[in-house]
């Protein structure tokens, strides 16, 4: 059953779940939700499994037309929709779910009761446009749901305050030592963790470029090697790049650290201008 029609994709819209795994050896990144914490909560509010496919929206401008009575949930970034972030409501045919103005964070997640019924490639419904996996969404597309609506679920649902996040005030991001940790001298490592950082405008699902104290990367060349999501590479210009969900599976820059999975969701929601610091996991 078709549940939604896309009126506009805004700054960016795609279907994501928790990603595809086991394919990096073939050069296929995991993709998946940039903020799995918010995506999981959207699904829980809608009564789905945590890893069910969701709509991932970037910033603002997206618009959706409801085609079937169903419980819908929104979590993550706040963008002024009729369903506030971290809440769920039953909407009726003809209702519109629009996201006119981004207020906090970058990525908003929309879940529909029953989960979106989309094709899975390599075990995942996640879209990876650069690799031609999944189809880019556009205005006029319709999205079906996999399960029936449970009309016993009426009224509004919400996430407890302790699980909601203020993306304007991120905590210390937890960092593991990277494979080339010892290549950086003590002064560089100390400076890295004492600096204030923010995400550059020149960032996307593949990688977040960081702006802050310019580093002095180690001299010499290194061979390309496997790169994990969350790897913090330091290129010759001294401004770190964090590998994100659609990032390359190999890289040739020294890696000072790897962002812990729990902190990666926070980093994903940091808009340019939001400052944060990092702390080493001892």
Would residue 168 count as lying in a domain?
no
For residues 193 and 136, membership in a common domain is answered with: no
The predicted-structure confidence for 140-153, as pLDDT tens digits, reads as follows: 999 999 876 665 55
Instruction: Work out the end-to-end distance of the chain between its first and last CA atoms, rounded to an integer number of angstroms.
Output: 51
For residues 79 and 180, membership in a common domain is answered with: no
Would residue 261 count as lying in a domain?
yes
For residues 93 and 223, membership in a common domain is answered with: no
For residues 184 and 121, membership in a common domain is answered with: no
For residues 55 and 82, membership in a common domain is answered with: yes
Grouping H, G, I as helix, E, B as strand and the rest as coil, residue 277 is: coil
Of the candidates 274, 233, 281, 235, the residue with the CA atom closest to the CA atom of residue 260: 281
Would residue 249 count as lying in a domain?
yes
Chain position carrying tokens 């795609």: 14
**For residues 122-141, average pLDDT:** 92
Written as six digits, the tokens of 20 are 């595809």
> What pLDDT, on the 0 to 100 scale, is given for residue 25?
86
For residues 17 and 155, membership in a common domain is answered with: yes
For residues 81 and 187, membership in a common domain is answered with: no
Q: Which helix (H) or strand (E) holds 44?
A: helix 36-46
Written as six digits, the tokens of 236 are 């010759």
CATH at 229: 2.40.100.10
Would residue 86 count as lying in a domain?
yes
**For residues 215-229, average pLDDT:** 88
Which of 35-49, 84-98, 147-161 is predicted with the least confidence, judged by mean pLDDT? 147-161
Sheet strand arrangement including 54-58? 13-16, 54-58, 104-112, 70-78, 87-91, 157-158
For residues 12 and 151, membership in a common domain is answered with: yes
For residues 191 and 153, membership in a common domain is answered with: no
- Name the residue with higher pLDDT: 271 or 129: 271
Q: Looking at the predicted structure, is the pLDDT value of residue 222 above 90? A: no
Task: Quickly state the pLDDT bin for 88 (edges 50, 70, 90).
Answer: very high
- Whole-number percent of the chain with pLDDT over 70: 97
For residues 151 and 236, membership in a common domain is answered with: no
Chain position carrying tokens 């005030």: 169
What is the residue range of 153's domain? 2-163
For residues 211 and 183, membership in a common domain is answered with: yes
DSSP per-residue codes, 145-209: BSS---TT--S-EE--GGG---TTS--PEEEEEPTTGGGS-HHHHHHHHHS-BEE-SS--SSEEE
**For residues 178-185, average pLDDT:** 95
Percent of the chain that is helix, strand, coil (3-state, to 5): 15, 30, 55
Domain termination residue (choose one: 137, 163, 189): 163
Of the candidates 133, 139, 132, 146, the residue with the CA atom closest to the CA atom of residue 54: 146
For residues 159 and 189, membership in a common domain is answered with: no
Q: Looking at the predicted structure, is the pLDDT value of residue 192 above 70? A: yes
Sheet strand arrangement including 231-233? 198-199, 207-211, 241-243, 231-233, 255-259, 173-177, 278-280
Would residue 184 count as lying in a domain?
yes
Question: Could you give the number of structural domains in the chain?
Answer: 2
Chain position carrying tokens 């600096």: 195
Written as six digits, the tokens of 164 are 């909601």
**Gap between the Cα atoms of 112 and 6, Å rounded:** 14
């Amino acid at each position: 059953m078709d549940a939604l029609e896309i009126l506009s994709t805004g700054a960016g819209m795609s279907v994501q779940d928790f990603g595809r795994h086991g394919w990096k050896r073939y050069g296929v990144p995991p993709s998946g939700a940039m903020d799995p914490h918010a995506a999981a909560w959207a699904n829980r509010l809608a009564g789905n499994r945590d890893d069910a496919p969701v709509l991932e929206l970037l910033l603002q401008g997206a618009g959706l037309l409801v085609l079937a009575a169903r419980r819908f949930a929104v979590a993550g970034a706040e963008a002024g929709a009729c369903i506030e972030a971290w809440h769920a409501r039953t909407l009726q045919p003809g209702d519109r779910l629009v996201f006119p103005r981004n207020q906090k964070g970058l990525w908003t997640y929309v879940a529909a009761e029953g989960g979106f019924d989309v094709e899975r490639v390599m075990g995942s419904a996640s879209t990876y446009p650069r690799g031609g996996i999944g189809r880019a969404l556009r205005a006029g597309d319709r999205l079906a749901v996999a399960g029936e609506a449970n009309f016993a679920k009426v009224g509004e649902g919400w996430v407890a305050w302790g699980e909601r996040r203020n993306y304007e005030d991120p905590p210390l991001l937890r960092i593991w030592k990277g494979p080339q940790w010892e290549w950086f001298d003590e002064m560089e490592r100390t400076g890295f963790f004492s600096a204030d950082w923010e995400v550059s405008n020149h960032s996307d699902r593949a990688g977040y470029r960081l702006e802050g104290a310019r580093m002095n990367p180690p001299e010499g060349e290194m061979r390309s090697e496997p790169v994990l999501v969350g790897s913090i590479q330091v290129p010759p210009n001294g401004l770190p790049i964090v590998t994100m969900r659609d990032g390359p599976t190999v890289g040739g820059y020294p890696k000072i650290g790897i962002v812990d999975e729990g902190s990666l969701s926070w980093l994903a929601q940091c808009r340019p201008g939001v400052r944060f610091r990092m702390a080493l996991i001892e």
